[in-house]
Chain A
């Protein structure tokens, strides 16, 4: 189940790239290629590099592709993105030992995870969007079921979000 979830997630993320280049046909072709060519070195390298993919990256991919096909989505505000980026960089720095407290380890424990998921739901209610609550709860469900990482943060965050967020912010400035 773990492998299946990761392959579907990788197919969706790569479909996002295909969608950007060639629209829905490109998305479908790349997703299919990823699923059929799992043993091909470039594909297994991508999996080795990006796993665990979690929920956030494929959810963002689906959301962006849906927006590209005309579905109305509420974009994240620039201030939201800046705050997220700064907080996430602190989180990554703590994992590298730059910050004395290791924040990542709270993602293994059920009580801190429960608090963080409810906080995400509360933020969704305040900001009027359901995307973050869906990702947080889906990530919690996979985490509780033991499908994928044993750390909840791996389900709802991904290091690739750093360059993605920076690119989005730069594109909004130019």
Chain B
């Protein structure tokens, strides 16, 4: 045997040892969704507006709700304009004070400079975009960070937040194209084993929605796609119907004028080709929340005659039909809603005035039923 063959055999032996280690350590992914808790039926109908904020100048857009003990926070990106090099993530912390809720004055929460310093390895951050809570790690966020170029060159960063800002950050490994063009918008999806998946989307070229799964160390372990024909499906909003079935509502980046839907019946391992729904949509993301028993609450801009209005609608038949619950109106477009459970209540956040401000409401199931 030649030294070359011997050295390659040694490498193959080392590889086999590494493979055995990796296979033994690998934890198979659980593909059964966690089911939502039912809303409480007691008490009185309640609807409150907790925050109605307008940025002093520039834009404030894409709010996300961060669940916390004793309340929640709302975070959004704010700066002179979207994708500009002065955009940071702002936050208002909303806490319960007796029977009332108090929203703190908006302040910078995550800055480009602090994030650049927290990155491992350190790297430039030019602007920030949609940012959501990492439900799998308390105090952590997923932010859309741009180091070079525009949104098509964005990457999703996992950020560990400390008392004074980010303490550690790293980009998720989602694409071989310089790890670029993945963004977040919708909240994470819970699985029955306590793990979480991240709805994300690839925004370069044909575009597609993705469901990202993680290993126990929080590293990307898998990703599955939601694609379509004649559509550029992005910003998947995933609603589980039972342990294995779920709906993903998708915005069309190409402005087809309708909302799109992809389905899974195997816990998110495979998704049907996106199909156009008979629901108008001005290329805007929707927010949705499973309420159990096939009921889905959705916030969307589905009135073709008034696309700037945000409608809250309820489906009692797994999304087949929808009934308007409430209509939010105002000057300029109401966009980018997010719905999340906050204890026994539901929080709704959206941007107002065509990306000029942020509004947050809190309501309960009885208010929904009374509409």
Contact = CB atoms under 8 A, between A and B. Distances in A.
B8 interface: yes
B167 to A, nearest CB: 14
Contact of B176 (A45, A47, A154): A154
A12 to B, nearest CB: 14
B317 interface: no
28 contacts: A2-B120, A10-B121, A38-B122, A44-B124, A47-B123, A47-B124, A49-B147, A49-B148, A51-B171, A52-B173, A95-B177, A97-B227, A100-B227, A110-B19, A113-B19, A122-B12, A124-B11, A128-B4, A133-B8, A134-B11, A136-B11, A143-B22, A144-B18, A144-B21, A149-B179, A150-B173, A150-B221, A154-B173
B116 interface: yes
Contacts of A38: 121-122
A105 B147 contact: no
A2 B121 contact: yes
A169 B85 CA distance: 39
Q: Which 9 A/B pairs are nearest by Cβ-Cβ distance?
A: A48-B147, A114-B19, A48-B123, A110-B22, A150-B219, A3-B121, A149-B173, A97-B206, A121-B12
Given A44-B124, A98-B205, A100-B227, 12 more contacts: A2-B170, A38-B121, A45-B123, A51-B123, A96-B204, A97-B206, A114-B19, A125-B9, A133-B12, A137-B14, A144-B18, A151-B173
A45 B121 CA distance: 11
Contacts of A84: none
Interface string A5-43: 011001000000000000000000000000000110100
Interface in B7-52: 7-9, 11-12, 14-16, 18-19, 21-23, 26
B212 to A, nearest CB: 10
Contacts of A39: 122
B131 interface: no
B173 A49 contact: no
Contact of B23 (A92, A111, A146, A153): A111
Contacts of B116: 44
Interface in A103-128: 104-105, 108-111, 113-114, 117-118, 121-122, 124-125, 128
B155 to A, nearest CB: 9
Given A41-B124, A133-B12, A146 B217 contact: yes
A97 B207 contact: yes
B113 to A, nearest CB: 11
Interface centre among A110, A113, A122 (most CB of B within 10 A): A110
A50 B229 CA distance: 32
Interface of A: 2-3, 6-7, 10, 38-39, 41, 44-45, 47-52, 91-92, 95-98, 100, 102, 104-105, 108-111, 113-114, 117-118, 121-122, 124-125, 128-130, 133-134, 136-137, 140-141, 143-144, 146, 149-151, 153-154, 157, 159
B95 interface: no
A44 B15 CA distance: 33
B276 to A, nearest CB: 18
A136 B25 CA distance: 20
Interface in B273-300: none
B122 A110 contact: no
A128 to B, nearest CB: 6
Contacts, number: 151
A18 to B, nearest CB: 20
Contacts of A153: 176
Given A98-B206, A141-B18, A108 B221 contact: yes
A7, A49, A109, most chain B CB atoms within 10 A: A49
B220 interface: yes
B344 interface: no
A105 B15 contact: no
A128 B7 CA distance: 11
Nearest to B218: A150
Given A96-B205, A130-B4, A51 B15 contact: no
Nearest to A7: B121
Contacts of A150: 173, 215, 219-221
Most buried by A among B120, B176, B207, B225: B176
Contacts of B22: 110, 113-114, 143-144
A105 B223 CA distance: 6
A90 to B, nearest CB: 12
B175 interface: yes
B178 interface: yes
B220 A108 contact: yes
Contact of A95 (B19, B26, B147, B176): B176
A4 B178 CA distance: 19
Nearest to B172: A150
A140 B4 CA distance: 20
B195 to A, nearest CB: 15
B179 A154 contact: yes
A33 B7 CA distance: 35
A124 to B, nearest CB: 5
